[in-house]
Each structure stands twice: as C-alpha cells, then as structure tokens.
Amino acid sequence: MSSGASVVGSDDRMNQVKLARRERRRRRRSTTLLVVTIVAAVVAVACVGAAFVVRSDTTEVRSQAEPVHQQLREVAANAVDAERRLATLREKSQTATTALVAVLAAFQAQVDASNTAVDAANQAVDQYNNGQAGVGDAFRAVGDAAVAAVVERTTAVSTAVAQAKTALTELAAASG
C-alpha cells in the first residue's frame, strides 16, 4: 500500500506543484498587467502634458503671427491701391501726352500758316516792286486767306494749350 499511497501522495504533490505554477503565472500576469497599466498611464499623462505644451506654443506662435498677418493684409491693400493709382497715372499721362502732341501739331500748323502768309506778302511785294498792275486786289484775296488761316491756327493753338494745361493739371493732381 505504500506504493499506492505514494502514487496518491505524488499526484497530490503534482497537483499542488501545478497549482503553485498556475498561481505564479497568474501573479506574473497580474504584475505584468499592472506594470503595463502604470506605463500606459505615465505615457498618457506625458502625452497630455506634451499636448498642453504644444497648445501653449501654438497659441504663442499665433499671437506672434497675428501682427505679421495684419501687416501682410495692409501691404496687400496698399499694393491694390498703388496699382489703381498707377493705372490712373498711366491714363492721365497718356491724356497729357496726347494733348501735348496736339499742341505741337497746332504750333506746326500755325508756323505753316504764318509761312504761307509771309510768302503771300513777299510775292505781293515782288509784284509791287516790279510794277505789276492789280497787285492790291491780288494781295487782298491771298492775304486775307493767309491771315484768316493764321488766325484759325492761332485759335487752334490756344485751344490745344488749354486742353494740355487741363491734362497736366489732372496728371499733377493724380500723382498726389
């Protein structure tokens, strides 16, 4: 019987050893789970802390960037205003250029009309000096036409100068 009792005792011991091993494994699992939980909690707290630091840094960067954004908006508005003013200046400059070209053309026409009147007068003087008859009547017709052309061209010069003056005044006002 001793062998039977020893088998039963041996089975009990084996069961006890198995139970002890299971208990140790369970404790190790519990300990591992506890350690993992603590590590996860520490990581979570660290992440929350990092998030607050990042949020604080982000808020600081935003507050520093706001004046830069405001300046950028002002620069953009100034650029749009400058482009508008430049377009106005170009338009007024073109108008002034056209008016000045018209003045020069009117002066040239006046010079041509004056030269024609002088030529007519010179021809009349030549005819008078040569003793040709009817010089007075011939000169009146040509001279009257030449003088009328000079008067007309002088009026055109005055009109062109007035328009050029207006254009230049508008250009000066637009250039501010």
Q: Which structure tokens are listed for 9? A: 């005792």
Walking along the chain (176 residues) 10 residues at a time, the average pLDDT comes out as 56 81 80 87 87 77 82 90 91 92 93 89 80 71 84 93 92 84
Domain ranges, residue 34? 2-175
**Per-residue confidence (pLDDT) for residue 6, from 0 to 100:** 56
Distance CA 137, CA 150 (A): 20
Q: What is the pTM of this model?
A: 0.55
* End-to-end Cα separation, the chain, in angstroms: 126
Query: For tokens 């024609």, what's the residue?
Result: 116
Predicted pLDDT of residue 109 = 92
SS3 131: coil
- Can you say how many angstroms the Cα of residue 16 is from the centroid of all Cα atoms in its chain? 87
Confidence (pLDDT) at 33: 82
Q: How many domains does the chain have?
A: 1
